[in-house]
Amino acid sequence: MNRTPVVSALRLYESIEALGRIGRYLDEASGLYGVNRLALTAQDGEGRRHVVAKMKSLGLAVTVDRIGNVYARRKGREDTLAPVMMGSHIDSVPTAGKFDGCLGVLGALEVMQALDDAQHVTRRPLVAAFFTDEEGSRFGSDMLGSSVATARIPLQTAYALRDRAGLSVQAELEAIGFLGETAEQLAPPFAYLECHIEQGPMLRREHIDIGVVTGVQSISWHEVTILGRSAHAGTTPMELRADASVAASRINLRLRQMALSGHYGEQLRATMGAMVPVPGLVNIVPGQMTVTVDLRNPSDVQMRRAEADIIAFYETVAAEEGVQIRWRQTARTSCVPFDAAFQDQIEAAAQRRGLSTRRIVSGAGHDAQELAHLTRAAMIFVPGEYDGISHNPRELSTPEQCANGVQVLLDVLLEIADAE
């Protein structure tokens, strides 16, 4: 090795800006440019081709599997050993910033460029990956590509998922040219590391440079269909109504009351992200509502209590409002701990660089929680400005914040990939 590999903050940030221009839109509310690269849309396809071109320009061997996960491999000195993998996602929610997921994928490629600059070949081969549809916003199941790669969700189940327009994952993968051929079940890497923005206020408020992620909290998603009776808004007396939107509103208020009550642990978070009325017109009592429920809890026990209570409340609302309520589980993951030794290594590597650290549970789901079922996995968080707002065009981490995280990723990667 000619010299210690060092991340280029400028090169990294320029790569984030370049990818951020794909699927860019002007957000009227903030006047900022946001990013909309919803999974398997043309914009996602363009973003994928942009990153694959970058991978190939680095001389990496690129493969695409049958669920569209992309892996880029860098040879190791002992190339038959299991690789150390780094990755994340480049699909986005429709109102995204430039950093969610992209930092981890472009950070992995920056690590490889820094190794090239230092003419360093690691003992183990390396893989930079991006996984399909981490967000789950379009097809309703988050961490889709990584959960297929780690056999939590069967390929055919994933293929059959459909968006609101009835388009399937399989058809949309084919439409963007990423219905790959390699087997989707991933051979276990030696280790998996993911650098990601915190997407919350903690690190920035406490002036912490690096979040050492201890694990991911549990996630539970419901899609709830409420069937009432459409009726004339002017002529129908209130007592004769079966108003689906009132039922939905009662459920939403109950979610907030549950989260604020502290009865399900101090950190239950509950969100009704989608509320779709039918017919959704001014002078018609909504006959149908489709809503989504997103529950998060760092305690599996408290999560199960919260789920049981909101499901019981669906029945109460149905009886009292004279509507029918059907619900289905669209995503469900338990709490996932990350590798304790890797956490210590991340903490030590950051502190050797004079960076402050703190342990932190991830509020958001990540591909790393799926890879943790297959291999030793860990995550490195970087702070975000504006209270770490995310899933919003205002999402912002500075060049220094990004470079700190990716440099720690590089340092820990070297320890793991060069260890005898």
Residue numbers at the binding site for ligand HGY (CB under 6 A): 134-136, 142, 364-365
Out of 68, 97, 101, 383, the residue judged to bind Mn ion by CB under 5 A: 101
Structure tokens at 223: 């899609």
Residue 198 touches which member of ligand HGY, Mn ion, none, C-beta under 5-8 Å by kind: none
Residue 365 touches which member of Mn ion, ligand HGY, none, C-beta under 5-8 Å by kind: ligand HGY
The DSSP letter of residue 238 is G
Question: What is the nearest approach in angstroms of Mn ion to the Cβ of residue 132?
Answer: 13
Residue 101 touches which member of Mn ion, ligand HGY, none, C-beta under 5-8 Å by kind: Mn ion
Q: In this complex, which beta carbon is closest to ligand HGY, that of residue 135 or of residue 198?
A: 135
Q: Are 70 and 129 in contact (CB under 8 A)?
A: yes
Please state whether beta strands 191-197 and 84-88 pair in parallel, antiparallel, or not at all (unpaired): parallel
Residue 211 touches which member of Mn ion, ligand HGY, none, C-beta under 5-8 Å by kind: none
Q: In this complex, which beta carbon is closest to ligand HGY, that of residue 150 or of residue 407?
A: 150
Q: In this complex, which beta carbon is closest to ligand HGY, that of residue 134 or of residue 307?
A: 134
Question: Which runs of consecutive H residues, i.e. helices, occur in 118-238?
Answer: 144-149, 155-160, 169-175, 202-205
Q: In this complex, which beta carbon is closest to ligand HGY, that of residue 5 or of residue 107?
A: 107
CA distance 201 to 216: 16
Q: In this complex, which beta carbon is closest to ligand HGY, that of residue 286 or of residue 393?
A: 393
Q: In this complex, which beta carbon is closest to Mn ion, that of residue 35 or of residue 270?
A: 35
Q: Are 326 and 224 in contact (CB under 8 A)?
A: yes
Residue 142 touches which member of Mn ion, ligand HGY, none, C-beta under 5-8 Å by kind: ligand HGY
Residue 286 touches which member of ligand HGY, Mn ion, none, C-beta under 5-8 Å by kind: none
Question: What is the nearest approach in angstroms of Mn ion to the Cβ of residue 376?
Answer: 20
CA distance 130 to 71: 7
Stretch that binds Mn ion, among 9-17, 100-108, 266-274, 296-304 (CB under 5 A): 100-108
Question: What is the nearest approach in angstroms of ligand HGY to the Cβ of residue 293?
Answer: 13
Question: What is the nearest approach in angstroms of Mn ion to the Cβ of residue 298?
Answer: 18
Question: Which runs of consecutive H residues, i.e. helices, occur in 139-279?
Answer: 144-149, 155-160, 169-175, 202-205, 244-261
Q: Is 68 helix (H, G, I), strand (E, B) or coil?
A: coil
Closest CA to 346 of 193, 173, 172, 204: 193
The DSSP letter of residue 76 is -
Question: What is the nearest approach in angstroms of Mn ion to the Cβ of residue 20?
Answer: 14
Residue 136 touches which member of Mn ion, ligand HGY, none, C-beta under 5-8 Å by kind: ligand HGY
Q: Which residues contact 273 (CB under 8 A, 6 or more apart)?
A: 292, 294
Closest CA to 389 of 140, 29, 146, 10: 29
Q: In this complex, which beta carbon is closest to Mn ion, that of residue 101 or of residue 286?
A: 101
Residue 129 to residues 53, 86, 204, 282: CA-CA distances in angstroms? 13, 6, 28, 47
Q: Decide: is 100 part of the binding site for Mn ion (CB under 5 A).
A: yes
Query: What are the residues binding Mn ion (CB under 5 A)?
Result: 100-101
